Amino acid sequence: MNFAEWGFWQAMLETDEDRKSDKEIEKKYGLKEIVAYEYEDDESQKEAQQRASETPRTRGPVYALDENILEIRCGMLEAKRGLVSIFSITAITMLSLGFLGAAVEAKSLVLLLLRGQSEPYGHHLYLAVLFTSLASLISWFYFKYGFRFTRLEMLTSRHLLIRFNRKTQQVYLHRPSYCGGIVTLPWKGVTSSGSSENTAIADGIGVPLLLYWSPRVTGTLHPEGAWVGKAGNNQTELRDEWEFIRRFMDEGPQGLPRPRITSHFPWPWQAFTPQFEGLTHYFRRASRTTKVGLLLICPAFLIIGLGHWLSLLLCWKPRWPKLIRQAGLPGKPIPPLTTLADRPPHIQERLRANAHLWAMRPGKRPEKKPRRRRGKSEAEPS
């Protein structure tokens, strides 16, 4: 599912009206704006260059690995896809039945008129108009408001991909255009949630490894992020994953364990096994009652897994542009880094208007002043 990436890209293009409503929500629930500082970004980049683990390994899925190329599945909620596909297929099936019913009634009406017999045909006309009107109205609403969510799982690229090129020292993100499109980023300047405790997220439980490029690095007036591989059960797994990537890019594949290469073909087990990514932590520590409850809801996992598989079947294999496929080969050009000028004019306008939202403040974050507690001598007399 590309929901997280789609939402992140929509935030980059948010209008002034939407931002005002967001501020009202933040004020209502007491949420504070997160301010980033250049010093913190520099420290995170330095930590990303250091060794994070002594046992580097990747849990994949890995789609390509050689002397210069490492390609891994990407996406925040990739393991949760399936539910949107079930609702989408249900809606499309109902629309198809509505138009089919209208066609059957229209056929019956035409046959009666051609026979020239005095048989009543009013109910055929009524049903044909009713089915056509309802199906057309629902189709309009679906394609205007619902189809955008269907494309988060169906009729789009089968997977989000991230490709590391050791020869060019670049990272490539393969995403649909409505999630930010295909971009080329520099390896130098990346930060990772697996590099240190300062950048860790939720102790690595239930989330994949996050790679992040600040606006100072991207050159597109907005940050870029990528969730790499499977959801983690702990921070150790994410450190091992990051260390595998870091050593590959900085030192080469020598000495790294050889991962199993996954096929892009949508095999059924590629849809059912991801449902349990990041849940081992809970299974091991769960009580007996919780384990019984998990067994009882197994049919729900099977239904979502079936929707996951259908979504994979209804998508196509992602394909890199020729320039990226040939990057690093002898005599082939190095892909230029993505810049603001590579975006369409209306996208450039929104990114420029929102650039101040992602800009980093210079220097360090000011220290919080300790709150003074009033002593007994300072307390007012009752």
| CA atoms of 301 and 294, how far apart (whole Å) | 10
The answer as to whether 193 is a domain residue is yes
Residue with tokens 């930010």: 180
Please check whether residues 248 and 267 belong to one and the same domain.
yes
345 lies in the same domain as 293: yes
Same domain, 95 and 168: no
Are 192 and 306 found together in one domain? yes
Task: Let me know whether 304 and 353 are in one domain.
Answer: yes
Q: For 244-308, give the DSSP string.
A: HHHHHHHT-STTS--PPBPPSS--THHHHGGGGTT-HHHHHH--HHHHHHHHHTHHHHHHHHHHH
Instruction: Check whether residue 316 and residue 189 sit in a common domain.
Output: yes
Predicted pLDDT of residue 381: 55
95: alpha, beta or left, given left = phi > 0 and alpha = psi -120 to 50?
alpha
Secondary structure of 63-87 as H, E, C letters: EEECCCEEEEEECCCHHHCCHHHHH
- The last residue of a domain, from among 120, 150, 180: 150
Question: Taking the alpha carbons of 233, 234, 240, 241 in that order, is the dihedral positive or negative?
Answer: positive
CA 238/CA 240 separation, integer angstroms: 5
311 occurs within a structural domain? yes
Cα–Cα nearest to 314, from 149, 192, 156: 156
Domain match, 292 and 221 both: yes
Sites in the chain below the pLDDT cut of 50: 382
In this predicted structure, what is the pLDDT of residue 299? 82
Q: What is the pLDDT of residue 380?
A: 53
**pLDDT per residue over 50-103, tens digit each?**
999 999 999 989 999 999 999 999 999 888 889 899 999 999 999 999 999 999
Whether 121 contacts 112, CB under 8 Å = yes
User: Is 257 domain-assigned?
Assistant: yes
What pLDDT is attached to residue 382?
A: 47
- Residue 37 gets which letter from DSSP? B
The neighbour count for residue 97, using CB atoms within 10 Å, is 12
In a domain, 115, yes or no: yes
The answer on 100 and 74 residing in a single domain is no
For residue 31, the model assigns a pLDDT of 55
Same domain, 210 and 243: yes
Is there a single domain that holds both residue 109 and residue 251? no
Query: Is 200 part of a structural domain of the chain?
Result: yes
- Let me know whether 319 and 214 are in one domain: yes
List the domain range (segments joined by +) for residue 297: 41-82+159-358
Domain total in the chain: 2
The reply to whether 24 falls in a domain is no
- Whether 25 is in a domain gets the answer no
Sequence-distant (≥ 6) Cβ neighbours of residue 101 within 8 angstroms: 127, 131
Q: Are residues 185 and 271 in the same domain?
A: yes
Q: Is residue 286 part of a domain?
A: yes
